[in-house]
């Protein structure tokens, strides 16, 4: 039997540095800590300024908009299930 030739040559480059990654606790997950020295303004080091904070009316509008969209999708599924059941009751009782 011929031995398989291994063509892989490790050049020593690091694709992604995973040295600071810890395992997430499954039962008590923690939010990542904010880093103050992040100059890029990403989610890790970005603090909200006064202009970026949402007002009470904005939060309420976002909440009711999301709930309305979820209820609309749920209503479509409930209507489809109702029509499905009615169709098969009609076919069965014929």
pLDDT of res. 12: 82
Q: Over 80: is that where the pLDDT of 64 sits? A: yes
More confident residue, 21 or 91: 91
Cβ neighbors of 42 (< 8 A, separation 6 or more) are none
Angle at 34 between CA 31 and CA 38, to 5 degrees: 140
pLDDT of residue 48: 54
Q: Residue 60's pLDDT is what?
A: 94
Question: What does DSSP assign to residue 34?
Answer: P
pLDDT at 9: 82
How far is Cα 37 from Cα 39, in angstroms, rounded to an integer? 6
Residue 82 has pLDDT above 60, yes or no: yes
Decide: residue 45, CB within 10 A, 0-12 exposed, 13-18 middle, 19+ buried.
middle
What pLDDT shows up at residue 22? 77
Q: For the chain, what is the mean pLDDT?
A: 80
């Amino acid at each position: 039997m011929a031995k398989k030739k291994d063509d892989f040559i490790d050049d020593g480059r690091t694709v992604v540095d995973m040295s600071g990654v810890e395992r997430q606790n499954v039962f008590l997950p923690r939010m990542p800590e904010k880093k103050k020295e992040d100059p890029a303004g990403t989610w890790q080091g970005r603090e909200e300024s006064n202009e970026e904070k949402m007002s009470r009316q904005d939060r309420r509008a976002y909440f009711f908009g999301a709930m309305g969209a979820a209820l609309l999708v749920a209503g479509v599924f409930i209507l489809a299930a109702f029509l499905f059941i009615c169709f098969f009751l009609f076919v069965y009782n014929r």
